[in-house]
Amino acid sequence: MVKNSEVKLSAVAGDLKKSPSDALVIGVGQGPDGPVLLDNPLTAKAAEALAESLSVLGITGAADQAHRLPGLPEAGATILLLAGVGKLPANKGSAKQPLSEEALRRAAGSAVRQLAGVTTVTLALPTTTLAEVAAVAEGAAMGAYSYTEFRSSQNGLKDPVKNVAILTDFAADKALQPVLDRASLIGTAVNATRTLVNQPPSHLYPESFADAAKELSKGLPVKVTVWDEKRLEKEGFGGILGVGKGSTRQPRLVKVEYAPAKATAKIALVGKGITFDTGGISIKPALGMGDMKSDMAGAAVVLNTVLAIAGLGLPVKATAWLCIAENMPSGAAQRPADVLTMFGGKTVEVLNTDAEGRLVMADGIVAASQEFPDAIIDVATLTGAQLIALGDRTAGVMGSDSVTGAIKAAADRAGELVWPMPLPEELRPSLDSQVADIANIGERHGGMMTAAVFLREFVGKGKDGEQIPWAHIDIAGPSFNNGSPYGYNHKQGTGCTVRTLVAYVEDLLKASA
C-alpha cells in the first residue's frame, strides 16, 4: 500500500567533471542591494559573469524561485539551476553570517522538487558544518517525493529525482555517512506519512491502516499489536468504538512498540487516526469535506516517528498508539447526547459527534498511561480552531511545561513551526456535563485549548502519584497543504511533526546522558 520512491544521497568534493550529474544547483540570495550569487564551484570568471546577469535574467533570490540555465563546461551537468534561498542574514561587522539550516533545507527541497524528471542532481549550496550538510540532505530527501499510485497513465507526470550528490568539504569526513543515513531515514519517515495521508478513504480505512502499520514495520525491531472491534469491546474502549460504530468499516487500535534492551527513557506517542471524518450525525458541510481523508495524520505521524526511532537505533522505549476509526452517519452511529464509557471507566456526554478525535484519543491516552511512560505526547488534527489561531503552517502545542518547552526547542532545531499555547483553568468548567463525568465540547472561543483541556482529563498518574508529563500537538493546519508546493513540501500531506518528535527524543537522550 505505502509505496515510496527513495532518493539515494551521497557527497562529492573537488572537480565536478569527475562526478557528472544532470543538474547542478547553486544558490542565490536576496541581498539588500539585489540578488547575490552564493559561494559555488564555478570558475571565478564564470561566477562573476553569472552574478552580473542575475537581475537581467529576472532572478531575485526569493525562496522557491528556481531558474534553469544551460550547464557550464566546468559544472559537469547539462542543467544549471539557480535556487532562491530567500533573504540573506545581515552581516555583523566583517563577519559573513551563514544561512540558517532551515533556509538550506527549504532551498534544497525546493530545487529537488522542481527538478522532478531529472535523474541525478548535485547540490552545491554553501555548507560550513555537518549540521548544515544534514539540513541540505533532509531537504533533498523530502523534496524527492511524488504520489501517483492511482494514476492510470504517467503522461505528463515526472518521476522524482533518484540520486542527489551534495558538494561539500566534508565528503571525506567519516562523520558524514551517519548524517546522510539519518537524513535518508527521516525522509523515508516523512514521505511514508505523506503517502498515508494522501491515500483515498476508499483504500485507507481502519483495517487497511492497521495492515499498513504492519507492512511499514517489516524489517524493524518493533512489535505490532492490533485490537479489532471485538477486543475493543471486550476491554472497554468506548471512545474508539463510539466514534467508529456508524461505519461498516470497524475501528482499530494499533500499538507499535520499540523496546531496545538498553533503553534509558520511555515515551508514548498517541495519534488520532480518523480515516475519514464526515462529522457523523453532526455532519460537516460538503465544501472541503474531501480533505477529511487527512484526519488520520496524527496516527501516521506517531507510527512513522517510532519506526524512525527504531531505524536510528535510539536507546529509548517508544510506543505509538494509533487510535483508528471512520466517523460516519448511519442508523448505528452515536447521537448527540449519547454517553460513552471510556477505557478506564470515565464517562463522556457526546454533545457533538464532530468532536470525535478527542474521544478516540482519550482511550489511547488512558492506555498509554497504564504503562507509566516518562512522557506522553499526542498528535492530532484536532480542531478547526487551530487554523484560526495559528494558521496553516504552525502547530499548536499545549500541556506540561517540561514537555512543551522541549518540543518547541526540538521543533526549532528540526526547522518546523510550533507555538506553545496556554491551558486556562476557566475553560474546564465549560466541559461540565449534567449527566456524565465530562462533555466532549465546551467553550467555543479558544476551542483548540478547550480540546486540550478535555484530553488532559485522561492523562494518568505516574508511579510517583503525579500526573504523567504530557503534551498535545494540534496539527490540523500544517499536516495538509491545500495551497501551492513550497520548499520541501508538496501538495496535500506534508508529514509535519515527524522531524520534531525524532529531534525531541534525541534531545531527551542527550539531556539524560
Of residues 296, 464, 301, the one with CA closest to residue 374: 464
- Position 98 pLDDT exceeds 90: no
Q: Which residues contact 174 (CB under 8 A, 6 or more apart)?
A: none
Q: Which three cell numbers stand for residue 114?
A: 522542481
**How much is the average pLDDT of 350-363?**
98
User: CB within 8 A of 107, min separation 6: which ones?
Assistant: 27, 63, 83, 84, 85, 86, 99, 125, 139, 487
The string of DSSP letters for 65-101 reads: -EEEEEPPGGGTEEEEEEEEEEEPPPPBTTBPPPPPH
CA torsion sign, 217 to 219 to 224 to 228? positive
Taking the CB of residue 32, how many other CB atoms lie within 10 A of it?
9
413-454 pLDDT, tens digit per residue, is 999 999 999 999 999 999 999 999 999 999 999 999 999 999
Pairing of strands 252-258, 223-227: antiparallel
Per the model's pLDDT, the better-predicted residue between 96 and 317 turns out to be 317
**pLDDT value of position 156:** 82
Nine cell digits for residue 56: 537581467
Cell numbers representing residue 308 in the block? 524512525
Q: Is 354 annotated as a binding residue?
A: yes
Per-residue pLDDT at 73: 82
In the chain, what are the domains? 8-170 (3.40.220.10), 189-512 (3.40.630.10)
The type of residue at 282 is S
Q: Among 127, 78, 2, which residue's Cα sits nearest to residue 495?
A: 2
Above 80 in pLDDT, residue 2?
no
The residues annotated with a catalytic role in the active site are 284, 358
CA dist 25 and 454 (Å) reads 49
Residue 398 has pLDDT above 70, yes or no: yes
> With 60 as the cut, is the pLDDT of residue 92 above it?
no
Contact 12, 180 (CB under 8 A): no
pLDDT in tens, 125-161: 999 999 999 999 999 999 999 999 899 888 889 999 9
What is residue 451's DSSP assignment?
Answer: H
CA dist 376 and 213 (Å) reads 20
In what helix (H) or strand (E) does residue 367 lie, and over which residues does it extend? helix 357-369
What is the pLDDT, as a whole number, of residue 91?
A: 73
Distance CA(63)–CA(473), nearest Å, equals 28
Give the C-alpha separation, 445 to 427, whole Å: 9
- Identity at 306, one-letter amino acid code: V
- For residue 128, the model assigns a pLDDT of 94
Question: For residue 211, how many other CB atoms are within 10 A of its CB?
Answer: 15
pLDDT band at 458 (very low <50, low <70, confident <90, very high): very high
Q: Report yes or no: 458 and 366 within 8 Å, Cβ to Cβ.
A: yes
| pLDDT score recorded for residue 75 | 86
State mean pLDDT over 13-25: 91
Q: Give the SS3 label for residue 406.
A: helix
Which pLDDT tens digit goes with each residue over 209-254?
999 999 999 999 999 999 999 999 999 999 999 999 999 999 999 9
Give the percent of the chain with pLDDT over 90.
92
Q: Is 356 annotated as a binding residue?
A: yes
pLDDT band at 356 (very low <50, low <70, confident <90, very high): very high
HEC per residue, 269-315: EEEEEEEEECCCCCCCCCCCHHHHHHCCHHHHHHHHHHHHHHHHCCC
Q: Which residues, in sequence order, are CB contacts of 494 under 8 Å at separation 6+? A: 194, 197, 478, 479, 480, 481
Type of residue at 313: G
> What is the amino acid identity at position 328?
M
What pLDDT is recorded for position 78? 95
Separation between Cα atoms, residue 63 and residue 342, nearest integer Å: 48
The answer to whether 277 is annotated as binding is yes
Cell triple for 410: 526540538
CA pair distance 351, 354, nearest whole angstrom: 9
pLDDT at 513: 73
Cell numbers 539515494 correspond to 8
pLDDT band at 7 (very low <50, low <70, confident <90, very high): very high
The grid coordinates of residue 46 equal 564564470
Tell the residue number behind the cell numbers 495521508, with chain if given: 197
pTM of the predicted protein model: 0.97
pLDDT category at 1 given cuts 50, 70, 90 is: low
* Chain segment 26-56, per-residue pLDDT in tens: 999 999 999 999 999 999 999 999 999 999 9
